[in-house]
A and B are shown apart, each in its own frame.
Chain A
Amino acid sequence: GAVVSQHPSRVICKSGTSVKIECRSLDFQATTMFWYRQFPKKSLMLMATSNEGSKATYEQGVEKDKFLINHASLTLSTLTVTSAHPEDSSFYICSARRPGLAGGSSYNEQFFGPGTRLTVL
């Protein structure tokens, strides 16, 4: 199978500090990773698409200067929440797309990390 890890699983920080969340694909190379935010009892909101070696593409309404994304290698993407505020408290989930043969059954399958619970005090 394809495994995606996230670190840390939980983080509590003070308002105004920055927090970095790592997303790693452990057994495959992911040219594309996605970052989602999940509010309580709500669906996942796509924040940005991260492509290895290029700038991330942010969804409308997501502040790129606040949520810094770096996709430094084919197995690692990081999300840094800068100058965190209590309203940034949420569950952040990443996913990694495993490339496959065009038209194959795994062509567009994404594998999700276990999520990171961020609490900003």
Chain B
Amino acid sequence: GNSVTQMEGPVTLSEEAFLTINCTYTATGYPSLFWYVQYPGEGLQLLLKATKADDKGSNKGFEATYRKETTSFHLEKGSVQVSDSAVYFCALSNSGAGSYQLTFGKGTKLSVIP
């Protein structure tokens, strides 16, 4: 079956620090990969996505590259801001199976301090 493993955190960084949140996956076929962000008290927002191997998703300074050989989709940002404090979820969707369901990792809470 499908599964997503991400570092659980919490992660605490100073403003302008470099961020990496690791994510690896197990899936059959060729899944699409996603990073979602959840701000306190809110639902999930799509941060970025990649639909095939070697694609790089990017948004708001965040990047992640779909690495099929290492089954990874690590999230990076060169310089975090206090406003980036949130919970980040790595997810995959295996639409080839016809269900379009998302499988989520457990989430990583990021706190950025001034």
Contacts and interface: CB of A to CB of B under 8 A. Distances in A.
B9 to A, nearest CB: 10
Contact of B43 (A32, A42, A108, A115): A115
A34 B102 CA distance: 9
B106 to A, nearest CB: 4
B105 A108 contact: no
6 contacts: A43-B107, A44-B44, A93-B43, A107-B51, A108-B100, A114-B43
Q: Tell me the interface secondary structure of chain A in the complex.
A: strand
Given A34-B101, A49-B99, A115-B43, A108 B32 contact: yes
B101 A46 contact: yes
B93 interface: yes
A111 to B, nearest CB: 8
Interface string A88-121: 0000010101000000010111111111010000
A44 B51 contact: no
Q: For the side of the interface on A, what is the size category?
A: 20 to 34
Interface of B: 32, 36, 41-46, 49, 51, 89, 93, 95, 99-102, 104-107, 109
Contacts of A97: 100
User: Sorted from nearest, which 3 A-B pairs have the closest CB atoms?
Assistant: A108-B95, A114-B43, A112-B44
A106 to B, nearest CB: 9
A6 interface: yes
A93 B44 contact: yes
A26 B41 CA distance: 21
A107 B32 CA distance: 10
A114 B104 contact: no
Given A49-B99, A93-B44, A109-B46, 7 more contacts: A42-B106, A43-B89, A44-B44, A49-B101, A110-B100, A112-B45, A115-B42
